[in-house]
């Protein structure tokens, strides 16, 4: 407790020595994009920005999600996929072993080839999908250990800007903002895909 | 807490951590300049990042407004720092986390070591954090028999190569791909001897090397890029996924954070999430950003600790001009545009904070006397100010610190007053590069010829306890290097 009191006293003394001018005002900046959430042009922009950072993007009607996902997993050669307990039943791919996460161990998850999740929100301008650990996305660990992540995004979840996304999110939830597959800029400052997170990111954009 | 009264702003203690170099900047810089490979590596890497960054910044229609908003939020934060920290503490605690306070590096190291010991673990995995480098946490853990494993690729390269970090964002920026391959072949157990120097192959080698560590280590130590006072949310911005591993897989998570990282509101986060990736890695958004608020039952670490670190920051806050340096979001844009950094590299700055930000931060954290040469390690060209996403006026702070150095020496009666006046005048001329160049040249010549300069600069050259001026001044060799370096 003493360190707390000392630190706070030091900071108060520092401010008292040279009182700063209060700055409660925030200069204005752009919070909303020009297009409303879900606008087809916005969804196109999301697709373009995702592709730019080496995510694979697919379009599917609501009814065709399961088949599209199954096709992606087959092309990847995946044999077992984990899904969160709340993934919509009609998104579950056929023709592959589907494991519903039920507090699976890290070692078990690491053996699985792929994961399918929904998203909470997507930011078109930055090519970002955000997971908030809701029942259709699951625990953070399930979208981390399998090497391929398939994420299904509905049009009304697509917003233009980062501030719009923040306004839709609940701070208390664990949040993971994902912009492309795992990458590093540590070798000569070039972006190289594929380090510790999923090395392949597939995003399925539905029409509703 | 050792030699100061309770409640007086204090600088970071010596003898622990990495804020002080072993030698003055000009000496270390000369050695760095003799290494042409280092300069080639740096020029290549900083050139790449500058091009990427300006391309993605030009996509943002309101970049100037975002910078102004970033500055305003940070000014507001510093003006209310004590209450915001109390608010953060309350929010983290309410969400099931435990908050610890550390007045300095010694206390922070002890807190973390005790927390790790209490879990019984003898190994921790770390996601890159400037704060833990600053306090020398790895050394403290090792001394306690705990093995720290760096999981960030660049940190791993540095750790395996028994090297020192040289950049805030890319600590191994001084290494090219061929050198990294050498380090991996030499130091990574079980590495494929046929490893190539393709960046993708090197990244894959790191993935294989660390996988078992991620799955079996029970404790992780992280830093934090932001902490939201109103919600208790912490954020880590990263690329590789090693951050997600460390923040998700262990049972215990210990985050060490400088107290200046707090921001007031959830909404404020939106400004920095736009500024940071574009200014730092030159991406619209970095691959991964994780946010967590205390403990989430059934998801991620169930023991969550936050260590709030002062270690000299209260002393920075006490300086009316210098306190803006606490606004820094560690993007490293100022390093990437700095002509001095590009030629000397990060090691020459001694401290873990290199480049322009290091030149204004390290001397304030330690007290100017302990890093006296750093405020002079700049040509005051102003590129850092233009690049800084939160508009820190680094050149003005450099000039201010030079003047403070002079004033402190005078106060300590270590220099006759006339000389102090002369150096203060010199500090003024340093703000005006042409005048400064002329004055420095004259000072150098004055020494060699044993002749005094006209007032007010005569006090400077006549001084007996002036630090020995090198035969060639920093600015002279600097402008010569510039000529030499031109392709
Ligand atoms: S001083 Fe500005 S440019 Fe430099 S690292 Fe800090 S925020 Fe970035």
pLDDT in tens, B342-400: 989 888 998 999 999 999 999 999 999 999 899 988 889 999 999 999 999 999 999 99
Rounded to whole angstroms, the Cα distance separating B76 from B89 reads: 18
Q: Is A6 exposed, middle or buried (0-12, 13-18, 19+ CB in 10 A)?
A: buried
CA of B153 vs chain A CAs: smallest distance (Å)? 7
The reply to whether residue A144 touches residue B177, judged by beta carbons under 8 angstroms, is no
Give phi and psi for B458, each to the nearest 5.
-65, -35
What are the DSSP E strand ranges found in B369-433? none
* Residues near B75 by beta carbon (within 8 Å), at least 6 away in sequence: A20, A23, B324, B327
* pLDDT score for B452: 30
* Cα Rg of chain A, angstroms: 21
**Which residue of chain B is at minimal alpha-carbon distance from A192?**
B200
B9 with A10: Cβ contact below 8 A:
yes
In which band, very low, low, confident or very high, does the pLDDT at B150 lie, cut at 50, 70 and 90?
Answer: very high
Question: Average model confidence (pLDDT) for chain B?
Answer: 85
A120 closest CA partner among A82, A163, A159, A89: A159
Q: From chain B, pick out residues whose CB is under 8 angstroms from the CB of A125.
A: 59, 284
Chain A's closest residue to B42, CA to CA, is A188
Convert the pLDDT of each residue in B303-355 to its tens digit. 999 999 999 999 999 999 999 999 999 999 999 999 999 989 888 998 999 99
Q: Is B60-311 in CATH node 2.60.40.1930?
A: no
Residues of chain B with Cβ-Cβ distance to A103 below 8 Å are 298
Written as tens digits, the pLDDT of chain A (208 aa) is 599 999 999 999 999 989 998 888 888 999 999 999 999 999 999 999 999 999 999 999 999 999 999 999 999 999 999 999 999 999 999 999 999 999 999 999 999 999 999 999 999 999 999 999 999 999 999 999 999 999 999 999 999 999 999 999 999 999 999 998 888 877 877 778 878 889 999 999 999 7
Q: Considering only A20-34, B60-74, B239-253, B431-445, which range has the smallest mean pLDDT? A: B431-445
pLDDT at B410: 82
According to DSSP, the residues that pair with B237 across neighbouring strands are: B289
As a whole number of angstroms, the distance between CA A163 and CA A177 comes to 13
> Tens digit of pLDDT for each residue in B176-205?
899 999 999 999 988 999 999 998 899 888
C-alpha–C-alpha distance, residues B163 and B184, integer Å:
13
Q: Which two tokens stand for residue A65?
A: 């999600």
Q: Which domains does chain A have, with CATH numbers?
A: 34-206 (3.40.50.10420)
How far apart, in whole angstroms, are the C-alpha atoms of residue B256 and residue B130? 9
Give the long-range contacts of residues A90-93, CB within 8 A, separation 24 or more.
A90/A63, A90/A65, A90/A66, A91/A65, A91/A66, A91/A116, A91/A118, A91/A152, A92/A66, A92/A116, A93/A66, A93/A67, A93/A69
Question: What percent of chain B clears pLDDT 70, i.e. is strictly above it?
Answer: 84
Is a pLDDT exceeding 60 seen at residue B486? no
Q: How far is the CA of B333 from the centre of ligand 1 (A)?
A: 6
CB of A205 closer than 8 Å to CB of A57: yes
Nearest to B63 by CA among B281, B390, B286: B390
Q: Please, which residues have CB within 8 angstroms of residue A122's CB and are 6 or more apart in sequence?
A: A46, A128, A129, A130, A153, A157, A158, A159, A165
Contact in structure between A109 and A141 (CB atoms under 8 Å): yes
Report how far ligand 1's centroid is from the alpha carbon of B72 (Å).
15
pLDDT band at B445 (very low <50, low <70, confident <90, very high): very low
Please give the interface size between A and B, counted as residue pairs whose CB atoms are below 8 Å apart: 279
First and final CA of chain A: distance in angstroms? 54
Q: Which residues contact B402 (CB under 8 A, 6 or more apart)?
A: B375, B376, B423, B426, B427, B430
Interface touch A194/B204, C-beta < 8 Å? yes
Per domain, the residue ranges of chain B are 60-311, 421-485
Distance from residue B370's CA to the centre of ligand 1 (Å): 22
Best CA proximity match to B239, nearest among A171, A187, A164: A187
Q: Enumerate residues 6+ apart whose C-beta is below 8 A from B84.
A: B77, B229, B262, B264
Nearest residue of chain B to residue A33 (CA atoms): B61
Q: Which of A19, A51, A180, A184 to mutate to test the interface with B (most CBs of B within 10 A)?
A: A184
Polymer length of chain B: 487
Cβ–Cβ contacts within 10 Å for residue B444, how many? 18
Which residues of chain A have a CB within 8 Å of the CB of B79?
A: 15, 20-23
Q: Using an 8 Å Cβ cutoff, are B285 and A50 in contact?
A: no
3-class SS at A137? Answer: coil
Question: Which residues lie closer than 8 Å to B468 by C-beta, 6 or more apart?
Answer: none
Nearest to residue A23, comparing CAs of B329, B74, B82, B267? B74
Tokens of B291: 């946010």
Q: Which of B152, B288, B318 sits opposite A176 (nearest CB)?
A: B288
User: Phi and psi (nearest 5°) for A148?
Assistant: -125, 130
Of ligand 1's listed atoms, the one at least distance from the Cα of B335 is 4
SS3 A184: strand
Q: DSSP character for A87?
A: S
pLDDT at A187: 82
Contact A6 B7 (CB under 8 A): yes
In the three-class reduction of DSSP (H, G, I as helix; E, B as strand; rest coil), residue A116 is classed as strand
Residue B115 or B435, more confident: B115
Helices (H), B80-123: 81-94, 105-119
Closest-CA distance, A60 to chain B, in angstroms, reads 25
Within 8 A of B52 by CB-CB distance, chain A residues are 189
pLDDT category of residue B300 using cuts at 50, 70 and 90: very high
Is the predicted pLDDT of residue B443 greater than 50, yes or no?
A: no
């Amino acid at each position: 407790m003493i360190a707390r009191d000392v630190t706070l006293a030091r900071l108060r003394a520092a401010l008292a020595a040279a009182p700063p001018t209060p700055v409660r005002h925030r200069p204005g900046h752009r919070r909303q994009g020009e297009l409303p959430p879900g606008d087809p042009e916005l969804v196109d922009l999301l697709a373009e920005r995702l592709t730019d950072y080496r995510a694979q993007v697919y379009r599917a009607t609501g009814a065709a999600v399961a088949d599209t996902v199954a096709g992606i997993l087959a092309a990847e050669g995946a044999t077992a996929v984990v899904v969160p307990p709340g993934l919509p039943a009609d998104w579950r791919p056929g023709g592959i072993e589907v494991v519903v996460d039920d507090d699976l161990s890290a070692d078990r998850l690491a053996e699985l080839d792929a994961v399918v999740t929904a998203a909470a929100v997507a930011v078109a301008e930055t090519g970002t999908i955000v997971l908030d650990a809701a029942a259709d996305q699951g625990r953070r660990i399930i979208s981390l250990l399998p090497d391929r992540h398939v994420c299904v995004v509905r049009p009304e979840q697509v917003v233009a800007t980062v501030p719009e996304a923040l306004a839709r999110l609940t701070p208390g939830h664990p949040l993971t903002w994902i912009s492309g597959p795992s990458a590093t800029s540590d070798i000569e400052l070039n972006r190289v895909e594929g380090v510790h997170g999923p090395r392949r990111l597939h995003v399925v954009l539905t029409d509703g | 807490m050792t030699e100061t009264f309770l409640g007086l702003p204090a600088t970071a203690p010596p003898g622990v951590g990495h804020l002080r170099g072993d030698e003055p900047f000009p000496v270390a810089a000369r050695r760095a300049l003799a290494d042409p490979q280092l300069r080639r590596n740096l020029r290549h890497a900083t050139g790449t990042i500058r091009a990427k960054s300006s391309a993605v910044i030009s996509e943002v229609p309101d970049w100037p407004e975002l910078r102004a908003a970033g500055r305003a939020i940070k000014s507001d934060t510093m003006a209310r720092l004590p209450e915001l920290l109390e608010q953060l503490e309350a929010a983290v605690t309410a969400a099931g986390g435990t908050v610890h306070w550390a007045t300095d590096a010694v206390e922070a190291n002890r807190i973390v070591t005790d927390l790790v010991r209490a879990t019984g673990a003898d190994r921790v995995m770390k996601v890159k954090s400037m704060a833990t480098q600053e306090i020398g946490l790895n050394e403290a853990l090792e001394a306690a028999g705990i093995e720290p494993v760096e999981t960030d690729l660049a940190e791993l390269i540095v750790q395996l190569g028994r090297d020192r970090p040289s950049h805030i964002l890319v600590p191994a920026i001084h290494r090219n791909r061929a050198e990294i391959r050498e380090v991996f072949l030499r130091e990574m157990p079980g590495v494929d001897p046929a490893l190539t120097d393709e960046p993708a192959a090197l990244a894959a080698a790191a993935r294989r090397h660390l996988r078992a560590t991620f799955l079996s280590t029970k404790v992780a130590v992280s830093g934090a890029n932001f902490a939201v006072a109103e919600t208790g949310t912490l954020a880590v911005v990263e690329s590789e996924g090693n951050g997600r591993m460390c923040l998700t897989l262990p049972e215990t998570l210990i985050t060490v954070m400088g107290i200046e990282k707090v921001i007031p509101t959830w909404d404020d986060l939106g400004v920095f999430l736009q500024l940071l990736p574009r200014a730092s890695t030159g991406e619209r958004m970095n691959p991964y950003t994780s946010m967590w608020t205390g403990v989430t039952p059934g998801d991620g670490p169930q023991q969550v600790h936050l260590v709030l670190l002062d270690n000299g920051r209260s002393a920075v806050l006490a300086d009316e001009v210098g306190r803006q340096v606490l606004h820094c979001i560690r993007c490293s844009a100022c390093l990437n545009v700095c002509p001095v950094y590009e030629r000397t590299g990060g090691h020459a700055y001694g401290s873990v904070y290199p480049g322009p930000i290091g030149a204004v931060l390290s001397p304030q954290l330690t007290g100017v006397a302990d890093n006296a040469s750093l405020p002079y390690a700049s040509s005051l060209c102003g590129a850092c100010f233009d690049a800084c996403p939160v508009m820190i006026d680094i050149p003005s702070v450099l000039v201010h610190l030079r003047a403070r150095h002079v004033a402190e020496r005078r106060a300590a009666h270590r220099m006759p007053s006339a000389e102090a006046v002369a150096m203060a005048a010199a500090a003024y001329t340093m703000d005006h590069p042409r005048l400064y160049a002329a004055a420095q040249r004259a000072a150098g010549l004055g020494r060699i010829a044993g002749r005094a300069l006209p007032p007010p600069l005569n006090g400077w050259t006549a001084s007996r306890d002036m630090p020995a001026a090198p035969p060639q001044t920093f600015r002279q060799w600097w402008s010569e290097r510039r000529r030499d370096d031109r392709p």
